[in-house]
Structure 1
Amino acid sequence: MQIPDTLLCLFSASVTEQRDSYVIEIPKSEIATENLREDEVYRVGLFETTTTPDEDSTQRREEDTLEPPVAEGETRTVDIEDIGEQGDGVARVERGYVIIIPDTEKGERVTIELTDVTETVAFAEVIEREDYYL
Structure 2
Amino acid sequence: MFGSNNSNDRGSSSPIKEGGEYDVKIEDTGRDGDGIARIEGFVVFVSGAKVGDEVKIRINSTRRNFAFAEVVE
Cα offsets for 1:93-128 (capped at 9, x unmatched): 11x100000111100001011010112111111113
Q: Which residue of 2 aligns with 1:90?
A: 36
Aligned length: 70
**Alignment CA distance shift 1:91-1:62 (3 Å):** same
Amino acid at match of 1:84: G
Taking every aligned residue pair, what percent have the same amino acid on both sides? 36
* CA-CA distance at 1:80 after TM superposition: 0.2
Structure 1 length-normalised TM: 0.47
* CA-CA distance at 1:83 after TM superposition: 0.3
Structure 2 residue corresponding to 1:69, chosen from 15, 30, 54 = 15
Structure 1 unaligned regions, length at least 5:
1-57, 129-134
Larger Rg: 1
Structure 2 unaligned regions, length at least 5:
none
Distance in 2, matches of 1:59 and 1:85, equals 38
Question: Would you say 1:123 and 2:72 are equivalent positions?
Answer: no
Q: Higher strand proportion, which one?
A: 2
